[in-house]
Amino acid sequence: MGSVCGAIKFVTLEGLNELACPETDVTLKTWTLSHDLKDWEPAGKSVPAGDLWKSKSFCESGLPRLAPSVPVLGFDEPDVVYVVLNDVDHVDVADEFGQVYGKNILRKVHYVLRLDMVQQGVLGHKKFVPGDYLTLPHLVSSEFSAHLQGSKDHQVRLEASETGGSGKQTMDASEKRAGGSRKRRKRRKH
């Protein structure tokens, strides 16, 4: 859930982790809170994983057909949602006598996708392998989408909003996360 272009939105993956729901039917849905703050209204199209996998952009990307997870709203793009595809193996866990007593998840690779909910397609994707600097799913939505969009654009919007549009002073994202330190630095106009 988050603020997207002035509206409060919510994103969900219906059917995820439900035994009776096949992966093709796991559906990405977005909702917008009504102006009177009483109801959630569907926002745009719902995107079943099976339809996403059939889309031209998904097929051309060469991505594996994996159920999406960890949906995150694009904070400045009303029709964009980010999801993660996790490619994993399930490995037997055995005791010292060789008796198998469970399974561990071995993470092979993560794909972060930028999806267009209107066109029901992939706008872009990035591959992360274990050991990369991004550990999933410990994500902060604004930083998540800023990372894929280029955080310099996000920084310019922060500068303008904090200085009433002048862009002369700014607080970087790490200072904001650290509790909103008032320490500011001057920026030159170009």
pLDDT tens-digit profile of 113-123? 999 998 889 99
53 and 109 together in one domain:
yes
Question: Cα torsion for 133, 83, 81, 167, to the nearest 10°?
Answer: 0
Q: Which residue has the higher pLDDT, 132 or 187?
A: 132
* Residue found under tokens 């995150």: 72
Q: Indicate if 121 and 71 belong to the same structural domain.
A: yes
Residues 44 and 73 in one domain: yes
Question: Does residue 120 sit in the same domain as residue 154?
Answer: no
Per-residue pLDDT for 50 more than 50? yes
Q: Is the pLDDT of residue 86 over 60?
A: yes
Mean pLDDT of the chain, nearest integer: 75
Same domain, 124 and 33: yes
Over residues 90-112, mean pLDDT: 88
Phi then psi dihedrals of residue 176, to 5 deg: -60, -45
What's the half-sphere exposure (Cβ side, CA atoms, 13 Å) at 186? 2
pLDDT at 171: 42
Same domain, 65 and 130: yes
Domain with 40 in it: 2-142
Residue 58 and residue 123 share a domain = yes
Cα gap 116→44, rounded to integer Å:
10
On whether both 137 and 185 belong to a single domain, the answer is no
Reply yes or no: is the peptide bond before residue 137 cis, omega within 30 of 0: yes
Residues 110 and 158 in one domain: no
Residues 71 and 160 in one domain: no
Q: Are residues 133 and 181 in the same domain?
A: no
Q: Are residues 91 and 71 in the same domain?
A: yes
Q: Are 186 and 166 in contact (CB under 8 A)?
A: no
Residue 142 in this model has a pLDDT that exceeds 70: no
The count of structural domains within the chain is 2
Phi then psi dihedrals of residue 71, to 5 deg: -70, 140
Instruction: Report yes or no on whether pTM surpasses 0.85.
Output: no
